[in-house]
Amino acid sequence: MSELAYQPDYDAAPVVARLSGARKRYGENTVLDNVDFTVRKGECVALVGPSGTGKTTLLRLLAGLESVSGGRTEVTQNTSVVFQEPRLIQALRVWKNVLLDDAHKPDAKARARVALQDVGLEDKLESWPVSLSGGQAQRVAVARALYRSPELMLLDEPFSALDAFTRRSMQSLVLKLWAKYRFGLVIVTHDLDEALILADRIVILSKGRICHETRVDMPRERDVTSPEFNALKRDLLKQFSLSLS
């Protein structure tokens, strides 16, 4: 059986992130309202929904970059984030961008090499960020997240700036790494195809609340042209439309 066919036992797998009755306000503006959300080890969850519905805010709560205004947040300390932009430091070589504050440790460069091998960029170890393509730069950002051996990886629209071919390649890479390391994975995306390609569960947010969840039971790798894929996509589009009303 392919590693990508792996499906966690959702009831038995340990929880790596949980929001309970989570609320987030900025002044008078309520961005998230009474959200319950759980991610288990080995589970891939996609967050979708219209712009401004709280997807990135939810991700930032999980990352510890924001605190809740109400409710509770319980997240494993071993969490990594990949943002929409690679956020590489131009003055540091690629391997030091993977390590950042750990660059002084004796075995750090060897560990950076392993992370870069995982994303297919071992040959760029000594390169400068300016020499990288957009896809390569985002692979370095993924290697930086992997270096910390996360139990939970958070992806905030990490492929939206890439061309279609590179985006599909990055989706395949993320699936390969997820199958290898079995971290919990949460991805924010506006692309329903991407959500269906990657996720075990798709969560639609609207007006700061979770309005729909669906399991994706199709075996991986998923064929975007299959009747099953497109039937589920049509259902999600219907739910997405209802979320706008």
| 146 in Cβ contact with 155 (< 8 Å) | no
Residue 113 to residues 1, 132, 143: CA-CA distances in angstroms?
29, 17, 9
Angle, in degrees to the nearest 10, between helices 134-147 and 164-181: 10
Tens of pLDDT, residues 80-102: 999 989 999 999 999 999 998 87
Helix, strand, or coil (residue 25):
strand
Q: List domains and CATH numbers for the chain.
A: 3-87+152-244 (3.40.50.300)
Q: What is the mean pLDDT of residues 3-29?
A: 82
Output the six-digit token pair for 46.
Answer: 């996609």
> What are the DSSP calls for 231-243, one per residue?
HHHHHHHHHHHHH
Whether 3 has a pLDDT exceeding 90, the answer reads no
Whether 1 has a pLDDT exceeding 50, the answer reads no
pTM above 0.75, yes or no: yes
Q: Which helix (H) or strand (E) holds 126?
A: none
Find tokens 């997405």 and name the residue: 240
What average pLDDT does the structure give for the chain? 91
Is the omega angle on the peptide bond into residue 221 within 30 degrees of 0, that is, cis?
Answer: yes
pLDDT-derived band at 186 (thresholds 50, 70, 90) equals very high
